[in-house]
Amino acid sequence: LYFTGKEVQIDSVQLARGTVIQLAALYTSIASLYTENSVTEYRGAWVRPTQTSYAEVEAYVKKAYDAGLNMLSVETLYSCTTIYPTPSGSLLEHNPKFGNFDVLDAYIKACHKYDMELHVWMPVFYSGSNGDANWKRSVAYKKSKWRLTSQRNSPLDQNETYGLVFLNPANSEVQDFLLETYEYILTNYDIDGFQLDYIRYRDRTANDDYGYDSGTIEAFKEAYPKYANYSITYNTDAAYWNDWVRFRASHVTKMVERVRALVDRVAPEVMLTADVGPSSNEAYSSLYQDYKTWLANNWLDMIHPMAYGTDYSPFMVDFQKWANDSCLVVPGLGTYMEEFDADDMVKQTRDMLNVGCDGVVYFELSAFF
């Protein structure tokens, strides 16, 4: 009996009927191993961990498992600090409220105990809020020159006193630092997915736009010499505007490409995923997030369009077209939104599955419960 590909060749003049039946069953078994099956439906939730012991973590994970979830995306950096002990010399600090407890390791062990996937939910360019109690522990506080600034030379919108502070995607030192951080996680923790959140610029608003530090503007003029004598300001009607958007988006895209290369090099079994705006036009023009290029280059294994609200099903059809079977489309649904009850969320989930999505992920787990 020779097995090659999907064909079975039998060299014999005569076989007993029972032998033929056994061989037929063997062929069926072998052929099934060469059949591509659809992926299990993802039923996930984002988690901001607060537990301070393994027992608390396992109880929370089991509650999620009993509720039918099979994936948790655990926020690994929040309140300006990490949920895991950082290596010596890192600019990042472990959140003091956890003491020496490695929350990330505990979630990994608990999720794997229940055959659930554990994805690191990693804010990329968002560093923290300057109103947070841990603000002085943040990278943005320690490295003020790395901050992303507006046309007013501020990391904040003009109406804010406290708010989100981002790192500058166009700064190569920022990207190098983040990649070093991610390599540490990928090589020291048995995770199933690495999720890029805030893989973008801070939102452009009517008042403010971001990326106007002198280094970025000089680099833009070098890349586009025809604008060498222009004063680059927040002006959507300016001759340079479309190229200025494209230039900033290219730095975000470069970061995705570099993380993809990192994952392939040190942890090829880990899925690379990303959270993105649901409208490609708005994401590109306001967040400088060009995820159609990411998908065209097969850099992502899963994408989470943040479909917080209603009537997003047509957008998901577009995502599946752009993903072209090389990337799973698993939209995020807003269980945190007070205007929706459980029946609304069931309907939104079914709507996403009916248009062919590979599951959903809920923001966030406490609201899901």
Q: Which residues contact 200 (CB under 8 A, 6 or more apart)?
A: 125, 169, 252, 277, 283, 287, 288, 289
- pLDDT on residue 29: 78
Scanning 139-240, the segments in alpha helix (DSSP H) are 139-142, 172-188, 214-223
DSSP 167: B
pLDDT digits (tens, 9 = 90+) for 305-329: 999 999 999 999 999 999 988 999 9
Given a cut of 80, is residue 175 above it in pLDDT?
A: yes
Please tell me the distance from the alpha carbon of residue 24 to that of residue 46, in angstroms, as a whole number: 47
Given a cut of 60, is residue 6 above it in pLDDT?
A: no
Given a cut of 70, is residue 5 above it in pLDDT?
A: no
Given a cut of 50, is residue 292 above it in pLDDT?
A: yes
Residue 325 main-chain phi, psi, to 5 deg: 65, 0
Q: 147 with 210: CB under 8 angstroms? A: no
State the chain's mean pLDDT as an integer.
94
DSSP 284: I
Dihedral sign computed on CA atoms, order 304, 182, 199, 106: positive
Given a cut of 50, is residue 13 above it in pLDDT?
A: no
State the pLDDT confidence band at 14, using cuts at 50, 70 and 90.
low
Please tell me the distance from the alpha carbon of residue 242 to that of residue 130, in angstroms, as a whole number: 31
Residue 34 main-chain phi, psi, to 5 deg: -100, 10
Given a cut of 90, is residue 280 above it in pLDDT?
A: yes
- pLDDT on residue 44: 98
Which is higher by pLDDT, 12 or 20? 20
Q: Which residues contact 328 (CB under 8 A, 6 or more apart)?
A: 39, 42, 301, 302, 303, 358, 359
Residue 166 belongs to what H/E stretch? strand 164-166
Given a cut of 80, is residue 93 above it in pLDDT?
A: yes
- pLDDT on residue 27: 82
State the pLDDT confidence band at 33, using cuts at 50, 70 and 90.
confident
| Placement of tokens 């586009």 in the chain | 224
- How much of the chain exceeds pLDDT 90, in percent? 88
Scanning 172-328, the segments in alpha helix (DSSP H) are 172-188, 214-223, 241-266, 280-282, 291-296, 313-323
- pLDDT on residue 131: 96
pLDDT digits (tens, 9 = 90+) for 183-197: 999 999 999 999 999
pTM assigned to the model: 0.89
DSSP 87: P
Q: 206 with 196: CB under 8 angstroms? A: no
- pLDDT on residue 36: 57
- How much of the chain exceeds pLDDT 70, in percent? 93
